[in-house]
Structure 1
Amino acid sequence: MDADRLTERQRELLRIVVQEYCRSAQPVGSNTIAQNYDLGVSSATIRNDLAALEREGLLTHPHTSAGRIPTDAGYRFFVHNLMFDPELPSAERRNIRIQFRQVRQDLDQWLRLSTAVLARTAQNAAVATAPRASNSRYKHLELVAIHGTKVLLILVLQEGTVKQQLLDLDEPMEQHELSRISNELNDQLAGANVQAIGERYASLTPFAQQVALLVRDIMQRIDRQIDGEIYRDGLVQVLEAPEFAEGENARRIVHVLEERSWLEQIMDEYGDDNADIHVVISGDGRFAQLRDISLVLGRYGVNDRATGVLGVIGPLRMSYGRTIGAVRFVATLMSEIVEEIYGPSS
């Protein structure tokens, strides 16, 4: 909704309700606000403003309570319009930086540390993917005759990925001819990304063109997928939240964390652009599995070198400012490490 439709007092009341509810998990009433916040108005005036926020779809109230709680739209409005600039305290940032220095040379250790730090700091679950090349580049190819019309394609990319695929030809080809085509492709495609392969395609001989198209398809799939392990931590913390203590919600949050294909879909969806932070509330109305779940996802790494995604998963009733500050800071540290390993952006 348009932020200008709310008065300054209504904006402040919405901020108070979100922060109080995130802290206490209890609906927030007008008397509580009047007693704890000096707004210079009566409980009745506060009650009228809360009712106006409810009509705007930003608050709702349980049937058994006169207090209000935020709706999905209320949380989104808070994150985008009312939240103070989120940053962890300097002492906390210093301690986290020291921990990362101690494991800086070990990829597996600093990925595990990233999720442990985020889970502890945000008191929710945390996930991270290993950095992968943002743009796969061709290094070397071999075509190896197997038997009859069967040929093994071995593709090596500059970042170290090796892919093998069995081809069925229309008619047999001698190894010397396959080697000639391999050399042609290696000469013409050295260092090429997916786009460059398309641009150099016309200069190849007919069979080499067919192989080049197959190589391009393989590289496109690699560029879209998350490789390697997805690191997780904090399942115990997130299950301590009242929202996930039992029942269907508990099963759903466990499924989101443990199902690799589902995590890949989410992290690919929100990690494939240059935005540093994405806050996803109740799946943004697009993912039913994320109902009543919030994600704060951050992208780390070096553009055109290697990038990954990390984030926090928890209930809607999340400390958004602290969580965003933690994800942004840890992503900054991880970007520094990626730059040391892969070099700066070109």
Structure 2
Amino acid sequence: MRRGREPAEHAGKELQPTTMDADRLTERQRELLRIVVQEYCRSAQPVGSNTIAQNYDLGVSSATIRNDLAALEREGLLTHPHTSAGRIPTDAGYRFFVHNLMFDPELPSAERRNIRIQFRQVRQDLDQWLRLSTAVLARTAQNAAVATAPRASNSRYKHLELVAIHGTKVLLILVLQEGTVKQQLLDLDEPMEQHELSRISNELNDQLAGANVQAIGERYASLTPFAQQVALLVRDIMQRIDRQIDGEIYRDGLVQVLEAPEFAEGENARRIVHVLEERSWLEQIMDEYGDDNADIHVVISGDGRFAQLRDISLVLGRYGVNDRATGVLGVIGPLRMSYGRTIGAVRFVATLMSEIVEEIYGPSS
């Protein structure tokens, strides 16, 4: 069956265009580039002029299509394997497609509804939310998925418990609003009964609920002397957490990404596994693209900056509340991925995670 001018995965808001002059291409050349990218992403086979002429109603001959494909190749947007007359996109071709030819869609409403239900079922457990976010992204995009835990830029006090252990030894258990739990063993000058420790705990919980580091300093004077000492210790712990740069990285979907023909060979398989498993390098990439307020980043072959990402695409989204806590999540796979569906999935899951972080930390001030 012949196809009309098929709008590729589009509905929703357009990504920002690349710096390349998009007006250098004719409308037909833009359409042909769109077709080649879509067909190659679908089939993993080079796309020839005869295939396009047979399947798409462009109103021109196969020879005209062949000339336009040659022009796209001269622009550096297409190339062709030596063994095939068909074309495949170059890195620049993928970038042009993503930024100029594609409108990123929302996931279907039924799919969004099902994902939201899954997130509601694991409410109040940040670890489970993050594991679910990578599982959902891996399943939806059929590639690997990663997520960083939200990094608190403004930790907030939730609850504290002082527990008598033995003699002068007391265990301090501090719970923060984002779910972080810290324990510290204290050695007091003299023993204290549990009922007295519980009274101090209740005083701190009443006075410091929801407080950040600055607010603890402001409320310090209203506390009793021993509670003041504990409050200073709590403030120090929270300051260290606010400065902390390391957080757990969650991963899922290694099996899915290794099923792509691009990663069937040993060297390419080892490289994608290294990208996913090497924590320090993965942190560098996610921090690089997660420090600004951009909605979505599409990184193709490392954008020429990261050799480890050659022939690999990343779709990364930032989530959280800007002045409270933020994290990064995304999908990693071959260049030949379904960019529209992947971007839609990353954006939707990032929105859900932002709602969760706002519930934990409160809205942006």
What TM-score, normalized by structure 1, do the two folds share?
0.78
C-alpha separation in 1, matches of 2:323 and 2:70 = 50
Report if the CA contact (8 A) 1:226-1:268 is conserved.
no
- The 1:196/1:79 distance shift into structure 2, 3 A limit, reads farther
1:104 is paired with a residue whose SS is coil
- The 1:21/1:149 distance shift into structure 2, 3 A limit, reads same
Shift of residue 140 of structure 1?
15
Q: Greater CA deviation, 193-202 or 45-54?
A: 193-202
Instruction: Give the aligned partner of residue 238 of structure 1.
Output: 257
Deviation readout 1:123-148 (Å, 9 max, x if unpaired): 00000111121356999999999999
C-alpha separation in 2, matches of 1:273 and 1:323 = 20
Q: Greater CA deviation, 256-265 or 80-89?
A: 80-89
Q: Greater CA deviation, 101-110 or 41-50?
A: 101-110
Deviation readout 1:206-265 (Å, 9 max, x if unpaired): 999999999999999966764332110000000000011122111010001011101110
What TM-score, normalized by structure 2, do the two folds share?
0.74
Report if the CA contact (8 A) 2:104-2:343 is conserved.
no
- The 1:146/1:95 distance shift into structure 2, 3 A limit, reads closer
Deviation readout 1:280-333 (Å, 9 max, x if unpaired): 000000000000000000001111011111000000001000000000000111
C-alpha separation in 1, matches of 2:80 and 2:182 = 55
Q: Greater CA deviation, 204-213 or 34-43?
A: 204-213
C-alpha separation in 2, matches of 1:108 and 1:212 = 27
Shift of residue 151 of structure 1?
20
Shift of residue 84 of structure 1?
2.3
Q: Greater CA deviation, 131-140 or 23-32?
A: 131-140
2:326 is paired with a residue whose SS is strand
Instruction: Give the aligned partner of residue 45 of structure 2.
Output: 26
Shift of residue 57 of structure 1?
0.4
Q: Is residue 163 of structure 2 the alignment partner of residue 126 of structure 1?
A: no
C-alpha separation in 1, matches of 2:206 and 2:171 = 20
Shift of residue 40 of structure 1?
0.4
Instruction: Give the aligned partner of residue 68 of structure 2.
Output: 49
Report if the CA contact (8 A) 1:156-1:162 is conserved.
yes
1:105 is paired with a residue whose SS is coil
Q: Greater CA deviation, 317-326 or 212-221?
A: 212-221
Instruction: Give the aligned partner of residue 228 of structure 1.
Output: 247
Q: Is residue 25 of structure 2 the alignment partner of residue 6 of structure 1?
A: yes
2:173 is paired with a residue whose SS is strand
- The 1:332/1:157 distance shift into structure 2, 3 A limit, reads closer
- The 1:41/1:342 distance shift into structure 2, 3 A limit, reads same
- The 1:117/1:137 distance shift into structure 2, 3 A limit, reads closer
Question: 5+ unaligned residues in a row in structure 1: which ranges?
Answer: none
Deviation readout 1:36-68 (Å, 9 max, x if unpaired): 110000000000000000000000000010000
- The 1:318/1:179 distance shift into structure 2, 3 A limit, reads same
Report if the CA contact (8 A) 2:122-2:128 is conserved.
yes
- The 1:273/1:137 distance shift into structure 2, 3 A limit, reads farther
Q: Greater CA deviation, 251-260 or 159-168?
A: 159-168
- The 1:208/1:70 distance shift into structure 2, 3 A limit, reads farther
Report if the CA contact (8 A) 2:22-2:100 is conserved.
yes
Report if the CA contact (8 A) 1:226-1:264 is conserved.
no
Report if the CA contact (8 A) 2:178-2:357 is conserved.
no
Deviation readout 1:67-125 (Å, 9 max, x if unpaired): 00000000000000001232111111111111111111211111111000000000000
C-alpha separation in 1, matches of 2:347 and 2:37 = 22
1:191 is paired with a residue whose SS is coil
1:251 is paired with a residue whose SS is helix
Q: Quick one: percent identity of the two aligned structures?
A: 100
Q: Greater CA deviation, 106-115 or 235-244?
A: 106-115
Which of 300, 306, 329 is equivalent to 2:348? 329
C-alpha separation in 2, matches of 1:70 and 1:198 = 58
Report if the CA contact (8 A) 2:290-2:328 is conserved.
yes
What is the CA RMSD across the aligned residues, in angstroms? 5.6
Report if the CA contact (8 A) 2:49-2:62 is conserved.
yes
